[in-house]
Amino acid sequence: MSEQGNKPEITETLNSGSRDIPEHVAIIMDGNGRWASSRGLPRFEGHRRGVESVRRTVKASIEIGIKNLTIFSFSAENWSRPAAEIMELMGLLKRFIRHDLADLHEQNVKILIIGERENLSKDLCVLLDEATGLTFANTGLILTVAFNYGGRQEILRAAQAMARAVELKKINVNSITTDIFADFLDTAGTPEPDLVIRTSGEQRISNFLLWQCAYSEFVFLPVLWPDFDKSHLEKAILEYRNRERRFGGLHHQASAKIASLGRFSA
């Protein structure tokens, strides 16, 4: 059956089991450059079409009932790309915030930005602060944008911050737990991803949410990011629902853990 023909069935299946919708979906948006190259277009056009996919995915996440959506927008390693492409990517983010912020706010979306501010222009930092400030009290979908972000760099920053807290005697080194350490991460207060999706067919994590993805389920899709739509998101969720999450234990232990966390509560 065609992908288009599957859409009603997929949507109906998800709606019939809304308790199994992952609370937090994280996406490694990959394939913009390859999408453009395969069509004889400049790489920038792939990135521009990728922004349209972000809009579709935010809308689809709201419709499906996902509570947290995290997107890997610009990695700390992307600074090695050509300067012209970096300028284009920065410009796209600026335009996205300027053009979409009011609409996201109207949809009750709360925006969070994780990553370092180093190397970012002052006007971009102002826009990022405007986006998080305006939507701070919103209670709908939490959209976390990982920008100028790297998982190793985040863990290092957290370790340094925790070391300073120990030095200032704010915490005792012997009392440090994984939960306490997580409070020093950029994602403090956000649940760990239940499902991580990577597009383009590549099967690697690329320094994304290294700490947080310890027990996430991964789905790798061959679709290039500019072609990603609601049907692809739904298919990934259906695959996620067919998995047995054990969190390092046995099936009955995993079920008890999920129940105690209230992960899939209505």
User: Rounded to whole angstroms, how far apart are CA atoms 155 and 86?
Assistant: 25
Kindly state the tokens that stand for 3: 């992908």
Q: Residues 149, 116: contact at Cβ < 8 Å?
A: yes
Give me the sheet containing 142-149, strands edge to edge. Answer: 110-114, 142-149, 68-75, 24-28, 195-198, 217-220
Is residue 30 annotated as a catalytic residue, yes or no?
yes
Handedness of CA 15, 18, 22, 24 (dihedral sign): positive
Q: Which one is catalytic: 78, 138, 183, 229?
A: 78
Q: Which of 30, 20, 9, 23 is nearest to 197 (CA)?
A: 30
The CB-based long-range contact list for 5-8 (8 Å cut-off, 24+ gap) reads 6/231, 6/235, 7/230, 7/231, 7/234
User: Alpha-carbon distance 73 to 237, whole Å?
Assistant: 21
Residues 6+ apart with CB under 8 A from 16: none
The yes-or-no answer on residue 100 being catalytic is no
Q: Do residues 56 and 11 make contact, with C-beta atoms less than 8 angstroms apart?
A: no
Give the active site residue among 6, 15, 20, 30. Answer: 30
Nearest Cα to Cα of residue 63 among 9, 116, 109: 109
Which amino acids are annotated catalytic?
30, 78
